[in-house]
Amino acid sequence: AVAAYRLDTIGARLMYGVPISTFSNVSAGITFANNTINQSQGFESSIVQWFIQQQGGRNNFNEPALTAGWSFDNSNKYIFATDGGSFDINGLVNIPVISNIEAYKIEVGGKYNISIPNTDMSALTIRGGVQYGGGYGGTAELPFYENFYGGGWGSVRGFLQGSLGPRDINLQNSQVGNSIGGNLNIYNNYDLLFPVPFIKDSSKMRIGAFVDIGNTYTTYDLKGVVAPQLKQETTPSFTNLKYSVGVEFRWASPIGPLAVSIAQPFNVQPGDVTQVFQFS
């Protein structure tokens, strides 16, 4: 579970995108959000209380922001591509002076498909990305409710969805609370996918094996705010990254993509929540 709070948001967004070549397009926009943080009944979260104190007791914020992005995609198929790849970069920055919170976020991600020789539907897909956010001006850190989350599909399978990174403290009993995410999230996935054997038409199904690497971090000190029983990692290293290997099944079903994985997680530390079977 993630940190116990309710975020009430009223907002609007205007976006505009335009292709600049056969394979790429750019986008830009403006968003407006009014966010109100409310503590969950029966659970007082250390991260929520700390953030509100940092803002002088305020729990309501106007956050107009500018966004921009660029994307490229020359994959040979929309589903289960065997050649080409994609890359995208997206950024958001709260408008200074008129925004109560001065923060920014940037996300970079890519995917590359390598076909397996002598096959027409098998491929190794390599996917990776970095998500980072921070504060500027009068805001020291990225607000906790804008944090990134890691674990599970899209990150490191074998760890509970969204569970990686530091956890807060339940102030009512001083026990370890829930995941708060982090302002830095990294992931790297290797998926070797094949058509399902013994099925006449498996064009919309794949089985495969995978290796996942990644973790979620807070790059600033949260001593006294996150659970002291658990080590807070602030900088990525081979020793604190999470790893997993496993097998998977994917189906481009009529109601949307469905997937299941069986994973063996590695580098499991106290406080980590593992989940061998996962669906997406």
pLDDT value at residue 2: 63
Q: What is the pLDDT of residue 21?
A: 96
What contacts 161, CB < 8 A, 6 or more positions away?
149, 151, 152, 153, 275, 278
Alpha helix stretches (DSSP H) within the chain? 46-54
Two structure tokens written together for 156: 């490191």
Question: What CA–CA distance (Å, rounded) separates 127 from 86?
Answer: 9
Residue scoring higher pLDDT (52 or 245) = 245
Position 271 scores a pLDDT of 87
Residue 120 has a pLDDT of 76
Q: In CATH, what number does 5-279 get? A: 2.40.160.50
The reported pLDDT for the residue numbered 1 is 54
The residue among 126, 109, 135, 102 whose CA lies nearest residue 219 is 135
Average per-residue pLDDT in the chain?
93
Task: Give the pLDDT confidence score for residue 40 in this predicted structure.
Answer: 67
Answer yes or no: is pLDDT of 69 > 60. Answer: yes
* pLDDT score of 81: 93
Domain ranges of the chain: 5-279
Q: Kindly report, residue by residue over 122-161, the tens digit of the pLDDT.
A: 999 999 999 999 999 989 899 999 999 999 999 999 999 9
Quote the pLDDT of residue 151: 97
Reported as a single tens digit per residue, the pLDDT across 212-246 is 999 999 999 888 888 877 888 899 999 999 999 99
Report the Cα 92 to chain-centroid distance in Å: 15
